[in-house]
Amino acid sequence: MKVSGSHIRIPKLGWVRMREPLRFSGKIMSATVSRTADRWFVSITVDTDDPPRRPAENQGVVGVDVGVAALATLSTGETIPGPKPHTALLKRLRRLSRSLSRKQKGSRNRARARRKLARLHARTANIRQDALHKLTSKLTSELTRRFHTIVIEDLNVRGMLANRRLARSIADMGWGEFRRQLEYKAARRGGLVVAADRFFASSRTCSACGHQLEVLPLSVRRWRCRACGILHDRDVNAARNLLAYGLAVLNGSTASSAGCQACGEEGSGGGRKAVVKPASTKQEVSFVPA
Amino acid sequence: MLTAHRIALDPNNRQSTWLARAAGTARFAWNWALDEWQRQYAAWKADNRRPRPSEAALRRQLNAIKREQFPWMLEVTKCAPQMAIMQLGRAFGNFFAGRARYPKFRRKGVDDRFTLSND
């Protein structure tokens, strides 16, 4: 097997055109040819040198709240909308599924309908993947390039998907994949991803004074703190709380003091002490730079 | 560091037929080896003196019989059956280490694939 420009030589078959040349240099270890939605792909494994560890542009810390309305809300107040490809293409998906179910089993028309549906599913997945890669690293607006430490929630995604009213919207955002990409990309830059405790009340704690509500229904997008009177955007508030949680972890204090830490704003905490390990084992740090 | 790069192929009709056959060969080899593994393991359970199944032994066994029994295997690259059995060995390794479930039989049209080694 050999690769030359945008062609790959497969033994006994010959040269096959690839849609783009191989981007990585190094020794080619193996290649797997696979079929997705009746399109052939080759995945070439290359043994490259370790990539240069371009550090994050500043040593900033950010809290990231993932959601259904917006894919991610940062503690800086930015929101990143998700593409929601499945929701957007649902009409076409329904049409094609119905068309497939009407075809006689074993017929050529059925095979063609099946291919059409498979292509739509692949397209949905590609749109989602593109958006997640862009958010976690590719463009200038990305997370691992801008921030050294990223604080996220430890979500029970599988459990949430059991809610049949929310499952479609949740699955459309790809939270699990978002976390996976953040973790490996931060590791590549020597960054740190801190996952907050699963039962950390990020949404219903006031990020200004630490007052904690008993309940906060999902329909409430904005709420006013009864203790200090601040009007909160639900997601931004959660992201700020996560940021405070992350700063507390970096400072080595316990999670319970995270609410107090929230009063100190960005930069007042230990954002620069990224190498400090968390104090307790309860706080899960996904990656500690070597 | 190992990095994978996934690139779309642009095969013509003849080439895509060949790719489908290679994927079918890989699937057949995987299913053959998994079946043999289960049989040989049961035999070893019954009688400890028999050899325990391993992917290297299965590759030798397939190479010994493929010329007579499966001559169509020779029409595609030898990597397709060989890498499939090696991957089965890794799948069993992952299973024994508790990282994965017991390997399953592969089905036509679902995740068709084959692997080439670079040598």
Report how many domains make up chain A: 2
Residue B24: its H or E element: helix B13-46
Q: Does ipTM top 0.85? A: yes
Looking at the fold, whether A8 and A70 belong to one and the same domain comes out as: no
User: Is A49 one of the catalytic residues?
Assistant: no
* Per-residue buried b or exposed e for A194-214, using 16+ beta carbons within 10 Å of the residue's own CB: bbbbeebbbbbbbbbbbeeee
Residue partners of A182: CB distance under 8 A and separation at least 6:
A136, A143, A144, A150, A152, A193
Q: How confident is the model at residue A286, as a pLDDT?
A: 46
Search chain B and give the residue with CA nearest A1. Answer: B118
Q: How far apart are CA B19 and CA A283, in angstroms?
A: 49
Looking at the fold, whether A153 and A14 belong to one and the same domain comes out as: no
Q: Evaluate whether residue A105 is within a structural domain.
A: no
B116 Cα to chain A: minimum distance (Å) = 5
Q: How confident is the model at residue B99, as a pLDDT?
A: 95
Q: Evaluate whether residue A115 is within a structural domain.
A: no
Mark yes or no for CB contact B9/A35 under 8 Å. Answer: no
Looking at the fold, whether A216 and A79 belong to one and the same domain comes out as: yes
Q: Are A24 and A48 in contact (CB under 8 A)?
A: yes
Mark yes or no for CB contact B8/A41 under 8 Å. Answer: yes
Q: How far apart are CA B91 and CA B101, in angstroms?
A: 9
Average pLDDT over residues B67-90: 94
Search chain A and give the residue with CA nearest B15. Answer: A13
pLDDT in tens, A177-220: 999 999 988 888 778 889 998 888 888 888 888 888 888 888 88
Largest Cα–Cα distance in chain A?
75
Which member of A50, A235, A265, A266 is catalytic? Answer: A235
Average pLDDT over residues B19-37: 96
Mark yes or no for CB contact A45/B4 under 8 Å. Answer: yes
Q: How confident is the model at residue A57, as a pLDDT?
A: 63
Q: Evaluate whether residue A152 is within a structural domain.
A: yes
Looking at the fold, whether A25 and A77 belong to one and the same domain comes out as: no
Confidence check: pLDDT of A282 > 70: no
A-chain residues near B83 (CB < 8 A): 30
Q: How confident is the model at residue A43, as a pLDDT?
A: 96
Which member of A130, A153, A183, A265 is catalytic? Answer: A153
Q: How confident is the model at residue A253, as a pLDDT?
A: 56
Looking at the fold, whether A229 and A181 belong to one and the same domain comes out as: yes
Q: How confident is the model at residue A213, as a pLDDT?
A: 86
Residue partners of A159: CB distance under 8 A and separation at least 6:
none
Mark yes or no for CB contact B19/A35 under 8 Å. Answer: yes
B-chain residues near A33 (CB < 8 A): 9, 19, 22-23, 113-116
Search chain A and give the residue with CA nearest B21. Answer: A13
Looking at the fold, whether A164 and A219 belong to one and the same domain comes out as: yes
Average pLDDT over residues B74-85: 94
Of B1, B4, B112, the CB nearest to A43: B4
Of A28, A42, A49, the CB nearest to B7: A42
Confidence check: pLDDT of A59 > 80: no
Cα atoms in the 13 Å half-sphere on the side-chain side of A112: 4
Q: Evaluate whether residue A118 is within a structural domain.
A: no
Tokens of A278: 């968390």
Average pLDDT over residues A147-151: 88
Q: Evaluate whether residue A116 is within a structural domain.
A: no
Q: Are A203 and A236 in contact (CB under 8 A)?
A: no
Looking at the fold, whether A145 and A172 belong to one and the same domain comes out as: yes
Domain of A17, in residue numbers = 2-47
For the beta sheet containing A7-10, the strands, ordered from the edge strand earlier in sequence to the opposite edge, are: A2-4, A7-10, A14-18, B2-10, A39-47, A27-36, B113-117
Mark yes or no for CB contact B118/A1 under 8 Å. Answer: yes
Q: How confident is the model at residue A94, as a pLDDT?
A: 96
Q: Evaluate whether residue A276 is within a structural domain.
A: no
Comparing CA positions, the residue from B34, B28, B2, B12 lying closest to residue B114 is B28
| Residues B11/B12/B18/B24 CA torsion (nearest 10 deg) | 60
Average pLDDT over residues B99-118: 94
Q: Evaluate whether residue A196 is within a structural domain.
A: yes
Type of residue found at A99: S
Tokens of A70: 């917006």
For the beta sheet containing A79-80, the strands, ordered from the edge strand earlier in sequence to the opposite edge, are: A79-80, A72-74, A61-66, A149-153, A192-196, A284-285
Looking at the fold, whether A69 and A200 belong to one and the same domain comes out as: yes
Confidence check: pLDDT of A175 > 80: yes
User: Is A38 one of the catalytic residues?
Assistant: no
pLDDT in tens, A5-55: 899 999 999 999 999 999 888 899 999 999 999 999 999 999 988 766 666
Confidence check: pLDDT of A142 > 70: yes
Task: Work out the pLDDT band at A279, boundaries 50, 70, 90.
Answer: very low
Residue A179: its H or E element: helix A175-189
Supply the DSSP symbol for A138: I
Confidence check: pLDDT of A284 > 60: no
Residues of B at the A interface, defined by Cβ within 8 angstroms: 1-11, 15-16, 18-20, 22-23, 75-77, 79, 83, 111-118
Of A30, A33, A46, the CB nearest to B5: A46
Q: Evaluate whether residue A287 is within a structural domain.
A: no
